[in-house]
Amino acid sequence: MTAETATKELGAARLAGADARRGGAGRDALIEFAGVSLAFAGKTVLDKIDLSIAKGEIVCIVGPSGCGKTTALRLASGLLAPSAGAIAFNGAPLQGPRRDVAIVFQDYGKALLPWRTAAGNVSLALEAAGTPRKARPQRIGALLAKVGLPNHADKYPSQMSGGMQQRLQIARCLAQEPIALMMDEPFGALDAMTRQELQDELLDIAAASGATIFFVTHDLEEAIYLGDRVIGLLPHPGRVGIELKIDLPRPRDQVATREAAQFLRLRRELYDFIKSAER
Amino acid sequence: MRSLRDRLLGVVVLALLVALWQIVANLKLVSPVYLPGPDRAFTALVHGLAASDLGAKLMGTIEHMIEGWLLASIAGIALGALIGASSQARAFIAPTLEFLRPLPASAIIPVAIAVFGLSPAMALGVIAFGAIWPMLLATIHGFAAVEPRLYEVAAALRLSRPAVIFKIALPSALPDILAGLRLGLTVALILAVVCEMIAGLNGLGNWVLLSARMFRSADLFAGVILLGAVGFVGALALNIAERRLLAWRAP
Ligand SMILES: Nc1ncnc2c1ncn2[C@@H]1O[C@H](COP(=O)(O)OP(=O)(O)OP(=O)(O)O)[C@@H](O)[C@H]1O
Ligand SMILES: [Mg+2]
């Protein structure tokens, strides 16, 4: 159906985008943390983080619960300001949330407007950006098709499955035409099949748009599967404990990539890191 | 939505009550001077609407009720939004509201009479004062209970302040506001009748009071039936509006 054709088209784009992505760390930095610390009520949550994310890079953040992954993402999105240190975006200090940085929240059920249909929810981002009313329907249709929801424009979130709701949230984020996507465990609440589908669709979107992705997850395999780089945080206070460059070829494949010797080696390394971090 | 069976049962219960009323009246368990049967009340109702000014009284009451209710709704929702949107304002103003709220609206009638005299303005003031509470408190609650994540979404999209209020907070508070509107309408009807009785304003309250004084019990009951009908139709209209406005809620 339409959803499948959309995915196929993206598949082609994914092949084309794969080479562009391989440049990796050599490119300009989009987001730079320089000695960033954050304290909540005197308690240090993140301690002197240095981090540079290149344009078009997919960086995955893992770490034990409570180590500050969400906080790091909120800092990078401008929802929080650091207590010390500086965050630069595209070379200039980050002042606050930006329209070209989209945030995909884990709790999609709470991040959608329940009183608006799927089309209405996507429309919110277009309204915020000042897209003329007449131009909206066509763009909404295209965005919903892109995330595989072309026939659900008139459904309310309460009438959609969890996977569909998260797709809808991603559509709204894409309506911002973001150059960066901030994702906080976006697929954590989904079943394994849906999760893998969405992982591949995300990689397709990233390849087609060249967007930079900051991806927080609990799932070590997910981090390796998606990322150009995986960063592991240590808790109390949160700091960078490990940094793994992922050279697995793109486009990635749910079966072949996960069977590759390098994938298994990286998984082992990350697993050992998390085990020691939790201790 | 209620099932057909429930509706039928509701009609049956109503019919049984009317029948019981007729039996009690026919047996003269209560003197006919005080209690007419439904037959006499219905005849008086038809006669009052056709040959007397009962129709004008009905319109008078509806007018008082709706004017006061609209004033209360607009003021209640606007004030509620102002207070509810800021957690500081809520903390400052909540104690005052808690003091004023339990004050029965009838307690301010003497104050209103002193200020406005026995005039329609007095009635409007009293009705609006009494009916504003459900709206005000429901709106404050609705605004305070907006999912915080949605405010973050709004921040991420850089929505303007008015857009946040009209696109996020108000629709989110709508279920609470609608509940407040319904309660407010009931209060407005009650106070409209009380004011008509006290100030002799043209309306069903005035009709009922005069009928009682003249021992015209059938006319009195005709007025009471109309009052019940006004309340019923008002609630029904709001129910329909609610069902349409809240169609998005999971069944
Ligand atoms: N608003 C806040 N006020 C006070 N403390 C906070 C706040 N937000 C987070 N924290 C604390 O900061 C620490 C890091 O929280 P954060 O949510 O970033 O962790 P996380 O790595 O995302 O955890 P999880 O894997 O469970 O999502 C925790 O100890 C948490 O209690
Ligand atoms: Mg988190």
A74 CA to centre of ligand 2 in angstroms: 10
Q: Distance (Å) from the C-alpha of residue B144 to the closest C-alpha of chain A?
A: 16
Distance from chain centroid for Cα A207:
13
Q: Please tell me the predicted confidence (pLDDT) of residue B119.
A: 84
B55's tokens? 């129709």
Q: In which residue ranges of chain A is CATH 3.40.50.300 found?
A: 3-100+178-277
How far is CA B162 from each of CA A97, B154, B158, rounded to the nearest angstrom?
Answer: 18, 11, 12
User: How many whole angstroms separate alpha carbon B244 and alpha carbon B92?
Assistant: 36
- Asked if the B36-249 domain carries CATH number 3.90.1070.10, the reply is no
Residue ranges in chain B modelled with pLDDT below 70 = 1-2, 250-251
User: How many whole angstroms separate alpha carbon A265 and alpha carbon A246?
Assistant: 11
Whether B171 and chain A come into contact, CB under 8 Å, resolves to yes
User: How many whole angstroms separate alpha carbon B150 and alpha carbon B164?
Assistant: 9
- Closest residue to B149, CB basis, from A99, A111, A116: A111
How far is CA B2 from each of CA B7, B234, B239, B240, B245, rounded to the nearest angstrom?
Answer: 7, 18, 12, 13, 18
* Mutant choice from B157, B165, B172 vs A, greatest count of A C-beta within 10 A: B157
CB pairs < 8 Å spanning A and B: 58
Q: Please tell me the predicted confidence (pLDDT) of residue B40.
A: 87
Note the pTM of the prediction, 2 decimals: 0.82
Q: Please tell me the predicted confidence (pLDDT) of residue A154.
A: 94
ipTM of the complex: 0.84
Whether A118 and chain B come into contact, CB under 8 Å, resolves to no
* Ligand number nearest to the C-alpha of A69: 1
Task: Give the other-Cβ count within 10 Å of B103's Cβ.
Answer: 12
Residue ranges in chain A modelled with pLDDT below 70 = 1-27
A69 CA to centre of ligand 1 in angstroms: 8
Which residues neighbour B250 within 8 Å (Cβ) at sequence distance 6 or greater? A158, A159
Question: Which residue in B has a C-alpha nearest to residue A181's C-alpha?
Answer: B156
A66 CA to centre of ligand 1 in angstroms: 5
Q: Among residues A186, A180, A183, which one has the least CA distance to residue A212?
A: A180
Q: Which CATH number fits domain A3-100+178-277: 2.60.40.10, 3.40.50.720, 3.40.50.300, 3.40.190.10?
A: 3.40.50.300
* Ligand number nearest to the C-alpha of A71: 1
Sorted by where each begins, the domain ranges of chain B are 1-30, 36-249
User: How many whole angstroms separate alpha carbon A110 and alpha carbon A43?
Assistant: 28
